[in-house]
Each structure stands twice: as structure tokens, then as C-alpha cells.
Structure 1
Amino acid sequence: MSTQEPVLKVLVVDDSNTIRRSAEIFLKQGGHEVLLAEDGFDALAKVNDYEPHLIFCDILMPRLDGYQTCAIIKRNPKFAAVPVVMLSSKDGVFDKARGRMVGAQDYLTKPFTKDQLLQAVQQFGIVTQGVN
């Protein structure tokens, strides 16, 4: 009996190269496949092309913010069940509530730690088990 977690395809959407690279390193150390997007439009293309199991999405981004990106993903029946975790440097109740309103499952405050990121993957990876 293997206790190894399944490899998940995780999309990280953030306009900060530093945040994207940190998340990529942490997630790869956790044994996951990582996709990176630098804004909402880039994210939507990658969601469609690669069908990630989990999405971490920054809120404050140019062109298409995280709330809009999440709402568009959740409106598509093919991706509505994909968990989205919002990323923000703000830790306000309003921001968390707005994230839930557009369909986000959770909210991580930046800067996040490796443990926080992998814990979120573990928590929401259960939802996606059996998804190819």
C-alpha cells in the first residue's frame, strides 16, 4: 500500500515572477507538476490547454484580476469543479468573502510558506483524485 500522494497538475497565476517561482519550487518539491501563468488571460488559455487539478490565483493582476479570472473558470462547466485558491497580500474579510462569491475554495495570504502551499494542495487534491 503506497502512501504517496497522486501527482497533481497545479497552475500558479501571479504577475510577480518571484511568487510564481517560489510556488513552483515548493510545489515541485512536493512532487507536483507545475504550470505558470503571469495574468488572467494567460491562465485561461492554460486552464483550457492543460486542465489543471488545482489553481492558485493572485487577486491583483493587470488586465484581468483574480476575481474575474476565477469567475470565468467557474462559469465553464468543464472546469467548475477545479478548486481555486486565491492569493493576496491583503488579509481582509471583504477580500475573502469576494473570493468565495466568485467560487474560490480558499484564500492564502502572501507571502505564503512551503507548508501552507502544500497543505492547500493536500486539502484540495482530495477533491480531484480520480481526475485525469
Structure 2
Amino acid sequence: MDDLAGVRVMVVDDSKTIRKTAESLLSRAGCEVSAATDGYEALAKIAELKPDLIFVDIMMPRLDGYQTCALIKGNPRFAKTPVIMLSSKDGLFDRARGRIVGSDHYLTKPFTRDELIAAVESHKPSRAG
């Protein structure tokens, strides 16, 4: 499974457990993973790290996942970067609200390795050339 080699993924979650789990699973699949504990930290790192894909937890202090996603999508440089919402609730409302702010995908926590990898697979940039 080295087809994800070099895909830059950012995981934004205030739960250290979720960050570590996602980081470990994605790293083993070949991704270059960076993490942020909240939306502000994520926004500060995005410009520098230029991730190909961003996982954002919905329930975070200070700046929640919806606000973070909206700010990422509102920036012309990152509007095309796929944002995958992470939520402990599998609610229709959360999914709909995620779509409204521009999220590309939705995963319910706890996610499985396969769900995480499949999400990256379906949104990874095509490496033409």
C-alpha cells in the first residue's frame, strides 16, 4: 500500500488519541502527516505545509470544525484542498452543515483504518506525470 506515498495529510483534532491514531495509520500507509490541536493552529500551519488533504474534527475549542473548514475553503489558495470532517455524532444535521461549509467527506469517530485510508484514497491529488 505505497500508493499514498508522499500524500500530505493534516489531522486537526483536540483529542491527542485521535491525532495519534490517525497519524500512525496514515504514516504506515505512506502519508506525510502533520497535526494541529485546533483550528487556529491548523490555519497557521496550512500555508507552510500545504497539505493535500485535511481531516478536521467538528467539536473543538476556540474555532470549531465548521468554522475551520469555512476559513480553509474561503481562502483561494486552499479552496480546492479536500476537507474531511470528523465527528463523534453520525448525524444528518452535522453532515448537512459540513456540506454547507464546503467539506468534501464525513467520517464518524471512532473510524477504522479502512475508512481513513479510503477517505484519503478518494480525495488524494492525482499525481499526473
TM above 0.5, one fold? yes
Moved more, 42-51 or 15-24: 42-51
Structure 1 residue aligned with 2:113: 114
Structure 1 residue aligned with 2:103: 104
Between the two proteins, the alignment pairs up a number of residues equal to 127
Structure 2 residue aligned with 1:18: 17
Q: Is the 8 A contact 1:83 1:105 kept in 2?
A: yes
Structure 2 residue aligned with 1:62: 61
Structure 2 residue aligned with 1:9: 8
Which sections of structure 1, spanning at least 5 residues, go unmatched? none
Question: What secondary structure is seen at the aligned counterpart in 2 of 1:103?
Answer: coil
Question: What secondary structure is seen at the aligned counterpart in 2 of 1:7?
Answer: coil
Shift of the alpha carbon at 1:6? 4.4
C-alpha separation between the residues in 2 aligned to 1:40 and 1:92?
22
Structure 1 residue aligned with 2:126: 129
RMSD: 1.3
State, as a whole percentage, how many aligned pairs show the same letter.
57
Letter of the structure 1 residue corresponding to residue 56 of structure 2: C
Q: Is the 8 A contact 1:56 1:87 kept in 2?
A: yes
TM-score when scaled to structure 2? 0.95
C-alpha separation between the residues in 2 aligned to 1:54 and 1:42?
16
Q: Is the 8 A contact 1:6 1:129 kept in 2?
A: no
Shift of the alpha carbon at 1:4? 3.4
TM-score when scaled to structure 1? 0.93
Structure 1 residue aligned with 2:30: 31
Shift of the alpha carbon at 1:130? 3.8
Question: What secondary structure is seen at the aligned counterpart in 1 of 2:21?
Answer: helix
Question: What secondary structure is seen at the aligned counterpart in 2 of 1:78?
Answer: coil
Letter of the structure 1 residue corresponding to residue 15 of structure 2: S
